[in-house]
Structures are given as structure tokens and as C-alpha cells.
Amino acid sequence: MTEQQPKVEPAIAAPKPAKNRTRMLMWVLGPALVLGAGGWLYLTSGRYASTDNAYVQADRVTIAPQIGGRVVEVNVRENQAVKRGDVLFRIDAEPLEIAVARMQAQVESVRSLLDAARSGYSAAQADVRSAVADLDYKKQQFQRLEELRARGLVAQQALDDAANNLAAARAKQDSNNAALSKAQNMLGGLPSTPDEQLAGYKLALAQLAQARLDLEHATVRAPIDGTIGKTSLQPGDFLGVGQAAMPLVANTLWVDANFKETDLTHVVVGQPASIEVDTFPGRKWQARVASISPASGSEFSLLPAQNATGNWVKIVQRIPVRLALETPQQDGLILRAGMSAVVDIDTGRQNSPIGRWQGSDTTSPTRVAQAP
């Protein structure tokens, strides 16, 4: 009988203490990290007001001539950057130059008329003196003939002629006085009044100034720094007064953010903000709250909502907030009007649960600035 061999039990592998510790740490630290992050978000919530309903904005100017005429020169093209004072286009100036020459001749004509009025004033004064002397003589002659007629020494015909001559002398004196008054009025009451103080000369100078201004407006210049928008203006086009020729978008940029009314509880003017534009993800621009609209966007619409009639459903309204960019251009990145943006306004730690527990900071400079 063969001897039975004893059964050998397989060796049990020793546990790996390092692996078990790692697993335990994951089970313990994982939930702790999640709870910690959630608690931090809760405790700091309410500090930032955010919205993605925000867009970059810029001033837009519609370039239009102040005089009508044919375009003879266009100096800019679409999407071209211009500086204030740069020539955009020119209108035919020949008719305006003729108008300036005509007004200059008109000024010289008025000046000549005023010089003639001064000479006429002197002549009228001499005529008045002559008429006064003639009237005195005719009065004396009439009185002598009247005495002689009373004694029967002259005929009635002689007395009648003397009376007629006296009446003619009075009429001539009145006429000369009227001529003197007319010449005096043309000279502003005094013959020594300078031309520049007389109404007729002022009118002529004003017409000349208007003609020169129209000539200057024949050259249309950029009123601000900016970029030319879409335009099809060509030499030969005729433009009327005030007719739109091309748009000009200013270089001054800001951001209009439309916040929900429930997000603006702690937003005040002067608070810092960060802006991220969709065109440049990951890049942020610093800004500050410049102003808050006095009404919701719907109040400025053409047909505001009539909530007092029919069925009504409450809708959270949007309030426009303007943000002033502190550095509009950075690292060669150019913002353009109409770009979409995401805005975060830092309203201060006092608006979070931690801040409310510690007490509001009533000395915050942003809130002091809002105090009446």
C-alpha cells in the first residue's frame, strides 16, 4: 500500500497595505473635497452678478453733408480707420465759390451805399439850412406886403403871391427835413457810426460768412476717431442736405449688459467687473459699472407691454447696465461693436452669506459714492 502524500495548502498572498490606504483616502477625501467645494460656493454665493446677455457697444455717427451738391472726390474706403479732421469726401465747390464772390461784391456795394448816405446826409443838412433861410425871407416878405396891402399900396395879387411863396418854402423845408431824417436813419442815427455797427452792413457780412461756411462744408471731415462702416459713395453721386453718406463707428467702446432685475440687488455704480468676449475665449477685460438704466429695456420699446389688460404672466425684466472698459485694447486684441460678452460684477464680499454673517461694510467706497 502506497503512502499517501500530505496535501499542501496554497499560500495566501499578503495584503498590500499601500493600495488599501490609497483607496481609503479616496473614499474619505473625495466626498470631503466635494462637500468643501459645495460649501465654499454656497458661502461665497451672491458676491458676483453675472450675465451672458451682454454686447460690446460703440458710438455710431452718420456722416451727412450740410450742403447739397455733386460728389467730386471720395478719400476713404469701407472699413478704413480715420482720425478726427481727416477728409472723407468733397462736394463740388465751384457754385459755392461763386456765391462767396457774389457776397463779397454785395458787402462792397453796401459799403459804397453807406458812403453815399454820408454824403447825402451832409447835402441834406445844407438843404435844410438853405430852406430855413429861404423860409425866413419869405415870411418877412409876406409880412411887408401884408402891411402895404392894409394901407392899399399894393395889389391883392402881390399879397397872394407872397402867401403862396411862403407856403412853398414851408413845404420845401419839410421835404428837406424828411431827407435829412432818412439819411440819418440809414447811418444809424449818426453819420459817424462805423459800418460794422449798421444793420445793412451786418446783414451783408452775415450773408458773406454763410457763403464762406457753405464753401468750407464742401469738404466733409471726420468728426471723431473711428472706422468707416459700409458705404457705396462714389464720385459723381449727388447728395442732398442731410442725406446719409456713410456710417462712422467711434473707437470709444463700452459694454451694455442686460441683467435680470433680481440680480441687481447689490449692484451700484463704480463696482469692478470682468468681461470675457466670445471672440477671445480665456481673455478678460477689466471694467467698472458706469451707469444703470432708469428703466427696463421693455419700457423703451416702441410698444411697451400693457400689463393692466388681459391675462398676465409675470416675467423677470432685464435692466441695461453700462460698463466702462479700463483697457479696451490689450495685446493687440481689438474689440468691435456688436461682439457678445460675458460679464461678472464683483458686488463685494458683504453680499455673500459669510459677509452677511460678519456684517455689511457700510463704509464701502462704492456705496458711499451712491449716498445722496
Half-sphere exposure of 209 (CA within 13 A, CB side): 6
pLDDT tens digits, 277-334 = 999 998 999 999 999 999 988 888 877 777 777 777 888 899 999 999 988 777 788 8
- Please tell me the predicted confidence (pLDDT) of residue 7: 52
Smallest CA-to-CA distance from 317 within 293, 335, 336, 337 is with 293
Residue 308 DSSP class? T
pLDDT tens digits, 68-97 = 999 999 999 999 999 999 999 999 999 999
**What is the average pLDDT value for the chain, to the nearest integer?**
81
Residue 94's alpha-carbon distances to 202, 227, 317, 362, in angstroms, are 25, 30, 57, 68
- Please tell me the predicted confidence (pLDDT) of residue 366: 41
Task: Name residue 18's amino acid.
Answer: A
- Please tell me the predicted confidence (pLDDT) of residue 369: 39
Residue 175 DSSP class? H
Residue 355, Cβ neighbours under 10 Å: how many? 19
pLDDT tens digits, 253-264 = 999 999 999 989
Using an 8 Å Cβ cutoff, are 200 and 185 in contact? no
The answer on pLDDT for 35 being more than 90 is no
Specify the higher pLDDT residue, 219 or 329.
Answer: 219
Smallest CA-to-CA distance from 69 within 93, 104, 45 is with 93
Using an 8 Å Cβ cutoff, are 321 and 294 in contact? no
Task: Name residue 293's amino acid.
Answer: S
- Please tell me the predicted confidence (pLDDT) of residue 349: 64
